A and B are shown apart, each in its own frame.
Chain A
Amino acid sequence: MSNNLRFKTSKFIDETYRVSFKFNNKTYFGFKGDTLASALLANGIHLVGRSFKYHRPRGIMTTGSEEPNAIIQLHDNSSRTEPNVRATEVEIYEGLVASSQNCWPNVNFDIGGINNLLSPILPAGFYYKTFMWPASFWEKYEYFIRKSAGLGKSPKVADPDIYEHKYIHCDVLVIGAGISGIMAAKMAAKNGFKTLLVDEKSYLGGSSIYDNSEFSKINNQITSSWLEKEINEISKIENLEIKTRTSVAAFHGYNFLLARENLTDHLPINQRENKVRQRLLKIRAKKVITATGSIERPLIFDNNDRPGIMLSSAIKKYIDLYGVACGENNILFTNNDTAYETAMSLIQRGIKINAIIDIREQIDSKISYEVEKNNIKIYKGYSVVDTYGYRRINKISIMKLSKDGQTVIGDKIKLNCDCLGISGGWTPAVHLFTQSGGKLKFREEDQVFIPNVYPSDQISIGSCNGDFGLDEIIKNTLSSIKKFLDIDNSEYKAVETISGLNQSKRNIWLLPSDKSIGKTKSFVDYQNDATAKDIKLALREGFRSIEHVKRYTTTGMGTDQGKLGNMHALGIISETAGTKMGEHGTTTFRPPYTPLTFGTIVGRNVGEFFDIFRRTPIHDWHVANNAEFENVGQWKRAWYYPKDNENMHQAVQRESKAARDSAGILDASTLGKIDIQGTDSSEFLNRVYTNAWSKLAVGKCRYGLMLNEDGMVYDDGVTTRLGENHYIMTTTTGGAANVLGKLEDYLQTEWPELDVYLSSVTDHYATISVCGPNSKKIVSKVIPDLDLSDEKFPHMSFKNAKIDNIKCRVMRISFTGEHSYEINIQANFGKSVWEKCMEAGKDFNITPYGTETMHLLRAEKGFIIVGQDTDATLTPIDLQMDWIVSKKKYDFIGKRSLYRSDTIREDRKQLVGLLTENPEEVLEEGAQIVADIKKSPIEMLGHVTSSYYSPNLKKSIALGVVKGGKNMLGQKLIIPMENKNINVTVADPVFLDKEGERLNAKL
């Protein structure tokens, strides 16, 4: 540990507040205000991880969300563990535990490092080229690749933290609280706009807040002092809300933005209990001001990735804001003036600078003269050609650049250093702007993409708009915000600025080397180990579009989305291909700007709130009586009721037998129920069902089949005529919402002339179905006043009745083929009526049955279940339900499609019954049906849709769809399974009581 790396100069660091933390199992100390990165650097630690492909040692490069290397795992092996976190963004707290990723056994000795030696045979696309053949070997390769590659480890237990979502509506959203963002927010808020200012950092002011240089002044004050007063002022404005630690993740159309507000990540773990960790803000802003600043570019040269090589601006920030020196023997390598600001910050604190390498021949700025005055050697027109040192840089070699910058000439000079600051100029952070659909333009002079066409009411200001000089930033911010907000009063009187910097720059995307390109490793994308060589190879292999090059080389595809190197990739492509920048397009920046945890995305929608459970009014009874449940859509439906140690099969066999031998009871409350009223209700039903409805008498029920306009079966159910202009329609459980939507669509758009009103009443009624030979006796005990004689209450009719003075509707309808009644009663009486039925049925062994038994019973009768036996490719004719299709009706939904050339084909898949040769053998639902297993390839004729062992028939029964099945009655077919072929015979789909004797029996 080096003590001389920390300087007591920063007001952001609280040196009275020591914080201990662990990194790779060792305890270190930092101060309140440190990030993990600054604390590690203060302890002399640069090496924090290994690269993705070559496992090269990597160090901290930046200070923010653009960090490609210092990606760590937080709290490994705990419930709060989080992978792929940028050490530069983690504010340290007491008890922080962090560890390196992508290395084994440890960061100092990593077995995967052998990939670095193998790198000549690991070029771009290596995995695609090698491991894809033979395809059957992929599984083996994958095991090793996944083990040695890959970033952090995902958590293995539930996230203990709380997250939430919040909607925010504002007039003006300002993204980024740097100098321009703060000015814009003040102008907006003071002019009466409801304004929200967000910044991803814990403090306001961006990079200007630690700009204490004599070389940039505003109104004759040091920039940071001027800005502090501004911040103090805006914090008092009432209609300005300021949120720090808030990172905008996505900028969608219509000024809809998502931001993550970090609330507890900087607190010690024991102070986070019961607090919301992160909040996803869903912001709808009338106007958006993007002031996201810019990101310093690295320089691309051989071995530009060693620990100790950092962005020049990062070195400046570590010393100015955190009071941490990144090295004791520094060298700066630059193509522009900003590195001289870093130099001045180091000089002021007496930190040694060995040299500055500047690729420019001419440097003409006040700040550079000042640096030279301090006896710093500046190598003008030189470039770094190589670096040395395995776990930390210790040396560089430099050579003179040729005039055209294409080659290096002369002798190699070696210089010692333990830290190399690099600056390739600045890239405007246009990520959010392009996410919103904005179009960029390329500015030749300084080789930057800047916003050009805005797709919504928004504007970019400051350096994300390509304004880099202090003077330019302030002047343009004032004028463009005035125009953008249409205000006269800018809140600012004349603002005078002084800057010692020139904006001159010499841009060379890939710096030349004395070696051939094949022998260099000049990293463009640090996180994914994509080099300039890889990009050139991709171009040689014929890739042209940036999107293809990106995927082939994986440039820009890491968790940092190539925030540092994407521009260089574009530059190298256009230089190599001899085209203009921008001609190959720019890569698309996709949300989120920085990774989001799943917790933030799902918010409160976890556990029981992940999806809504719908429970019937009788649910508690099912729970109390040992029911197993099945999910049907959002409904929890009783599936079967195991007794003693019954398994599902045993329970279902018992329930099915009881329902036919004596009495069964089913909770059918989940069936969709639509109340239909209006003078045209009958006509409406005529149009939506395949059968005729005009002649259905009041008090009668009818089964209906609903098609799509393409003729395919959509839904079914029984509809009852309650009055002259009043019906109640039932739909399938899963189809209820869609059927209502479809009916409303036709009423509103195709037939607005019809006088029909629809209301969903699914949740308003409990529906109890009592079936079996003793059902009549049971219902007569529950509703003694109701005449259940066949004459007064025949099958397919309905009666109003009362149970304990509560009105109910009783339908005599059947889905089992047994004599049965459906009692519909106001939902809150459902459970008590169910209990009454159970009580009344005691002497008749009334047996509650679930959906599985219901399915079995209806399959014995050959009744279809829409969605199980049908799949939107079957017409009623295919289902052998011709009887329900009216020939007389002029039109109904789907009618015309029933005689399209395709729907009248004889060889369509048709519903049939299937009986196995061995009656004990039960088919698997979904199994394929074939006729000839010798032919290759085997022709698939269809599949099994429903299959059960019927206790009432004492044999296995199944329904299936088979090509041309209608005409195959009695024919033998084969169900090929993994270990055997099962012989089946095509049968009538009605297996039990085809004549309906059970239904019509005199009871």
Chain B
Amino acid sequence: MFLITCPFCGEREQSEFKAGGEAHIVRPKQPTELSDDEWAEYLFMRKNIKGIQFERWNHVHGCRKWFNMVRDTSNDQIKAVYKMGEKPPVK
């Protein structure tokens, strides 16, 4: 079980959190302008990487804030956590 550092609360057990899928997928500002394929790309297509992955997490049983995490999915090492809207601190 991970020990996750919430950017707002600090270290907490994984059981307080909820994973929210891939990070940095921005909802299109003008969905009506998009073709079916472009909209489907936003809606359905997600990476499932073995290695460094950018993910959304929610401190759902804590401060309820969403934040981003950089995680190596091959060994579950959490490389960084950062607030929504911030740039990823590692590549």
Taking Cβ atoms with an 8 Å cutoff, the residues of A that contact B are 252-254, 256, 284, 437, 455, 709-710, 741, 744-745, 748-750, 752, 890-891, 895-897, 900-901
Contacts and interface: CB of A to CB of B under 8 A. Distances in A.
B39 A900 contact: yes
Given A710-B43, A748-B84, A749-B66, A900 B3 contact: no
A253 B36 contact: no
27 contacts: A252-B1, A254-B2, A284-B3, A284-B13, A455-B75, A709-B27, A710-B43, A741-B60, A745-B58, A745-B66, A748-B84, A749-B66, A750-B27, A752-B84, A752-B85, A891-B31, A895-B31, A895-B32, A896-B32, A896-B34, A896-B39, A897-B39, A897-B43, A900-B36, A900-B39, A900-B40, A901-B36
A752 B84 CA distance: 9
Contacts of A437: 75-76
A758 to B, nearest CB: 10
Contacts of B76: 253-254, 437
Contacts of A897: 39, 43
Contacts of A748: 65-66, 84
Interface in B28-80: 30-32, 34, 36, 39-40, 43, 56, 58, 60, 64-66, 75-76
Interface residues of B, number: 25
Contact of A890 (B32, B36, B66): B32
A744 B72 CA distance: 27
A587 B69 CA distance: 32
Contacts of B2: 253-254
Nearest to A895: B31
Contacts of B40: 900
A748 B85 CA distance: 9
Contacts of B58: 741, 745
Contacts of B65: 748
A407 B63 CA distance: 70
A254 B1 contact: yes
A709 B1 CA distance: 31
A896 B84 CA distance: 25
A895 B30 CA distance: 11
A752 B27 CA distance: 13
B56 A749 contact: yes
A574 to B, nearest CB: 27
A895 B76 CA distance: 37
Nearest to A896: B31
A416 to B, nearest CB: 55
Given A709-B27, A744-B66, A897-B39, 12 more contacts: A254-B1, A284-B13, A437-B75, A455-B75, A741-B60, A744-B64, A750-B26, A891-B32, A895-B31, A896-B31, A896-B32, A896-B34
Given A745-B58, A895-B31, A256 B85 contact: no
Nearest to A747: B66
A896 B26 CA distance: 15
Closest 7 CB pairs of A and B: A896-B31, A256-B1, A254-B3, A748-B66, A750-B27, A253-B76, A896-B39
Contacts of B31: 891, 895-896
Contacts of B64: 744
B66 A709 contact: no
A510 B84 CA distance: 60
Nearest to A740: B64
A741 B17 CA distance: 12
A436 to B, nearest CB: 11
Interface string B75-91: 11000000011000000
Contacts of B3: 254, 256, 284
Nearest to A453: B75
Nearest to B60: A741
A749 B84 contact: yes
A58 B1 CA distance: 40
> Which among A256, A741, A749, A901 has the greatest number of chain B C-beta atoms within 10 A?
A749
Nearest to A255: B3
A749 B75 CA distance: 28
Contacts of A252: 1
Nearest to A284: B3
A710 B45 CA distance: 13
A996 B76 CA distance: 59
A710 B42 CA distance: 10
A890 B33 CA distance: 11
Nearest to B77: A455
B31 to A, nearest CB: 4
Nearest to B11: A284
Nearest to B27: A750
Nearest to B32: A896
A897 B32 CA distance: 9
A895 B13 CA distance: 37
B76 to A, nearest CB: 5
A743 to B, nearest CB: 11
> Which among B1, B20, B39 has the greatest number of chain A C-beta atoms within 10 A?
B1
Contacts of B56: 749
A703 to B, nearest CB: 24
> Which among A709, A752, A890 has the greatest number of chain B C-beta atoms within 10 A?
A709
A257 to B, nearest CB: 10
B50 to A, nearest CB: 14
Nearest to A744: B64
Nearest to B2: A254
Nearest to A900: B36
> Which among A252, A455, A748, A752 has the greatest number of chain B C-beta atoms within 10 A?
A748
